[in-house]
Amino acid sequence: MSKDTPSLLGRLLFGGSLAALAYSNFQELEAMIGYADSKDVPEADRLVPFASGMLAFGSLAVILWRVPRLAAGAIAGFLVGVTPLMHDFWNAEGQERDTEQTNFLQNVALLGAALAFLGRANEN
């Protein structure tokens, strides 16, 4: 790999964490679909597996640094689509608001990392 390839450790930490989340989504698919339904996500029974697949693909491809633009774009697309729908802290109160705001901000940080990987992929 060239010197322009992001570090293996960075790719493992970022991609590995997101791969674990995708795996968890698939393991708890019915619960995730139910949660998405409770947030009024249209066609949650189709979108949740699709979005989880995007996350799984993107995370593994970032780790391997294969099709990096597509990989980072899939992760960014997942986060842009999921974050405001599933972590809408502005519609919650009390402890739920705090939890959703934390999850929202964590996803925004992950989106920033995905965009950084996308920028690096575009340089290659």
Token pair of 60 as six digits: 């593994």
Q: CA 5, CA 66: separation in Å to the nearest integer? A: 11
Residue at 2 is within a domain: no
Tally of structural domains, the chain: 1
Residue at 69 is within a domain: yes
Q: Are 65 and 5 in contact (CB under 8 A)?
A: yes
User: 34-83, pLDDT tens digit by residue?
Assistant: 999 999 999 999 999 999 999 999 999 999 999 999 999 999 999 999 99
**Is it the case that residue 5 has pLDDT exceeding 90?**
no
pTM of the model: 0.92
Q: Which domain holds residue 45?
A: 8-123
